[in-house]
C-alpha cells in the first residue's frame, strides 16, 4: 500500500511538472478563473442598463417634455433629440436601440380625450434590451401621461399591501449570482480539459509507452492524474473565490468556504474521471475538443445553474440526476448563497460520491482496455 501511494504521488508530481511546462494550459487556467469570472458576472447584465434611446418631439408641449425627461440612467442613456428624418439612418447605423416619436398635437388630443398614438421603433437585433426595454418604455410613458392628466402625482391606495422581501440577494444583483456560478462551471470545464489533455498529450508524445514498462498499475496512473489535475483546479477555484468574487466583485459569501471546497473536491473526482474516459475515446486533441462541446453544453445548461431545474421537462430532470454538475450546483448554491450546513447538503454530497465512484470505475475499465491494446 505504501509503495502504491508513493507511485501515485510521484506520477502526480510528474503531471504537475508537465502542466507547468505547458504555457497554453497555464494561460487558460489563469484566464478562466480571473477575467472569465469577472466578465461573466459584470459585463453581461440581463437587466436594462444604459440602453441608447432617441426621441423625436414633434409636439414641443409640456407633456412631451415631461415624457422626454423621464428617461435617465442607469436604465437608459440620456435621450438623443432627433428630427424624424434621422430615425431610420440612426437605426440602420445601430446608434440607438429605441426611437420614440411624439406626433404634433399629442398633448391636445390627450387632454381632449381623443385617441392619441405614439410610435416606438425598436432595434430587435439587440434582443435582451429590446424585450425588457419595450416594457419599461410603455410603463414610463403611461405613468407620465396619467400623472399629467390628473394634474398631480398620486398613488391609489389598494386594499392589499404586498410586502416584497428578496432573500439571499436583497438587491437582486446579477453580479452576486453570475460570479459564483461561473466558478462552478469553470471547475467542471477545466477539470475535464486538464485530465483529458494530459492523457492525450502523453499518447501524442509517446510517454505513455514509458509508463507501460514501469512497475505501475493503471489504477495508480489514473489516481495520479485525478489528484494532480483536481488539486490544480481546486486551488485555482479557491483563489478565484476569494480574490475575484469576494475581492473585486464584492460578493458576500454566506456559508462555509471549506465545506464548499469539500463539495468541489468530490465533483472534481467525478469530472476528472470523466475527462480520462473521454480522452480514451478520442484519438486526438481535435476529437477531444468536439467531445468537450457535446458534453459541456448539457452539463452547464441543464444542471440548474442557468435556469431552475423545476422549469425543465421531467425527463430532463431525471436524466440530469446522473450528472455530477447537477448536485454540485445544488450544494454550491445552498452553501454559498443560503449558508447551508452539512445537515442540509448531505444528499448532494452522497450523490457526488456515488457518481464519482461509478465514473472512476467506468473510466478505469476503459483505460485498462486502451493500455492493453497499446501493449
pLDDT digits (tens, 9 = 90+) for 317-327: 999 999 999 99
Same domain, 8 and 131: no
pLDDT in tens, 72-108: 888 899 999 999 899 999 988 889 999 999 999 999 9
| Residue 164 placed within a domain | no
- The residue out of 105, 121, 150 marking a domain boundary is 150
DSSP element (H, E) containing 286: helix 285-301
Q: What is the pLDDT of residue 261?
A: 93
Same domain, 179 and 73: no
Same domain, 190 and 134: no
Q: What is the pLDDT of residue 159?
A: 76
Dihedral angle sign, alpha carbons of residues 172, 178, 325, 348: negative
Same domain, 141 and 187: no
| Residue 289 placed within a domain | yes
Q: What is the pLDDT of residue 128?
A: 74
Same domain, 107 and 229: no
Burial of 40 (0-12, 13-18, 19+ CB in 10 A): middle
Q: What is the pLDDT of residue 46?
A: 61
Q: Global pTM? A: 0.76
CA angle 38, 44, 50 (to 5 degrees): 120
Which CATH number goes with the domain that contains 64? 3.40.1710.10
In whole angstroms, what is the distance from residue 343 CA to residue 323 CA?
22
| Residue 156 placed within a domain | no
| Residue 162 placed within a domain | no
Q: What is the pLDDT of residue 155?
A: 57
Q: What is the pLDDT of residue 212?
A: 67
Same domain, 27 and 108: no
| Residue 75 placed within a domain | yes
In whole angstroms, what is the distance from residue 307 CA to residue 345 CA?
20
| Residue 194 placed within a domain | yes
| Residue 328 placed within a domain | yes
- The residue out of 150, 177, 209 marking a domain boundary is 150
Same domain, 57 and 173: no
Same domain, 175 and 319: yes
DSSP element (H, E) containing 122: strand 119-122
DSSP element (H, E) containing 303: none
Q: What is the pLDDT of residue 181?
A: 85
Neighbours of 164 (CB within 10 A): 4
pLDDT in tens, the chain (375 residues): 788 888 889 888 988 988 898 898 899 999 999 998 988 887 755 667 788 999 999 999 999 999 999 998 888 999 999 998 999 999 888 899 999 999 999 999 998 888 888 999 999 888 778 888 888 999 999 989 988 888 755 556 667 777 788 888 777 777 788 888 889 889 999 999 999 888 888 777 777 667 667 777 888 888 888 999 999 999 999 999 999 988 888 888 888 999 999 999 999 999 999 999 998 888 888 888 899 888 988 888 888 887 888 888 999 999 999 999 999 999 998 998 888 889 999 999 999 999 999 999 999 898 888 776 655
Same domain, 182 and 298: yes
Same domain, 127 and 242: no
- Which residue shows C-alpha cell 447551508? 340
Reduced DSSP (H G I as helix, E B as strand, rest coil) percent helix, strand, coil of the chain, to 5: 65, 5, 30
pLDDT in tens, 148-164: 888 755 556 667 777 78
| Residue 48 placed within a domain | no
The residues near 225 (Cβ < 8 Å, ≥ 6 apart) are 11, 12, 15, 195, 198, 199, 272, 276
Same domain, 269 and 217: yes
- The residue out of 89, 121, 150 marking a domain boundary is 150
Q: What is the pLDDT of residue 241?
A: 92
Q: What is the pLDDT of residue 103?
A: 93
Q: Which domain holds residue 141?
A: 53-150
Q: How many domains does the chain fold into?
A: 2
Same domain, 137 and 222: no
Amino acid at each position: 500500500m505504501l509503495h502504491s501511494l508513493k507511485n501515485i504521488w510521484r506520477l502526480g508530481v510528474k503531471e504537475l511538472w508537465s502542466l507547468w511546462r505547458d504555457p497554453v494550459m497555464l494561460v487558460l487556467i489563469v484566464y478562466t478563473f480571473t477575467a472569465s469570472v469577472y466578465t461573466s458576472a459584470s459585463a453581461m447584465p440581463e437587466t436594462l442598463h444604459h440602453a441608447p434611446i432617441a426621441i423625436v418631439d414633434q409636439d414641443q408641449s409640456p407633456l412631451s417634455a415631461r415624457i422626454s425627461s423621464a428617461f435617465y440612467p442607469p436604465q437608459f442613456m440620456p435621450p438623443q433629440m432627433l428630427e424624424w428624418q434621422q430615425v431610420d439612418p440612426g437605426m440602420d447605423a445601430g446608434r440607438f436601440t429605441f426611437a420614440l416619436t411624439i406626433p404634433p398635437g399629442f398633448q391636445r388630443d390627450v387632454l381632449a380625450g381623443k385617441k392619441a398614438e405614439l410610435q416606438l421603433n425598436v432595434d430587435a437585433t439587440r434582443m435582451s434590451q429590446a424585450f425588457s426595454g419595450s416594457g419599461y418604455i410603455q410603463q414610463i410613458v403611461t405613468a407620465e401621461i396619467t400623472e399629467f392628466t390628473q394634474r398631480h402625482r398620486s398613488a391609489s391606495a389598494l386594499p392589499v399591501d404586498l410586502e416584497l422581501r428578496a432573500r439571499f440577494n436583497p438587491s437582486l444583483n446579477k453580479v452576486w449570482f453570475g460570479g459564483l456560478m461561473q466558478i462552478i462551471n469553470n471547475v467542471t470545464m477545466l477539470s475535464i480539459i486538464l485530465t483529458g489533455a494530459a492523457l492525450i498529450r502523453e499518447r501524442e508524445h509517446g510517454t505513455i509507452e514509458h509508463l507501460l514498462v514501469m512497475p505501475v498499475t493503471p489504477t495508480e496512473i489514473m489516481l495520479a492524474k485525478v489528484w494532480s489535475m483536481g488539486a490544480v483546479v481546486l486551488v485555482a477555484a479557491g483563489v478565484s473565490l476569494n480574490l475575484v468574487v469576494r475581492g473585486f466583485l464584492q460578493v458576500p459569501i454566506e456559508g462555509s468556504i471549506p465545506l464548499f471546497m469539500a463539495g468541489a473536491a468530490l465533483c472534481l473526482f467525478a469530472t476528472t474521471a470523466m475527462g480520462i474516459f473521454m480522452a480514451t475515446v478520442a484519438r486526438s486533441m481535435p476529437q477531444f475538443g468536439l467531445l468537450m462541446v457535446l458534453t459541456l453544453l448539457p452539463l452547464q445548461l441543464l444542471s440548474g445553474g442557468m435556469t431552475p431545474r423545476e422549469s425543465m421537462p421531467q425527463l430532463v430532470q431525471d436524466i440530469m440526476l446522473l450528472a455530477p454538475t447537477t448536485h454540485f450546483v445544488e450544494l454550491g448554491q445552498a452553501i454559498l448563497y443560503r449558508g447551508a450546513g452539512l445537515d442540509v447538503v448531505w444528499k448532494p454530497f452522497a450523490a457526488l460520491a456515488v457518481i464519482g465512484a461509478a465514473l472512476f470505475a467506468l473510466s478505469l475499465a476503459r483505460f485498462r482496455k486502451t493500455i492493453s491494446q497499446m501493449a
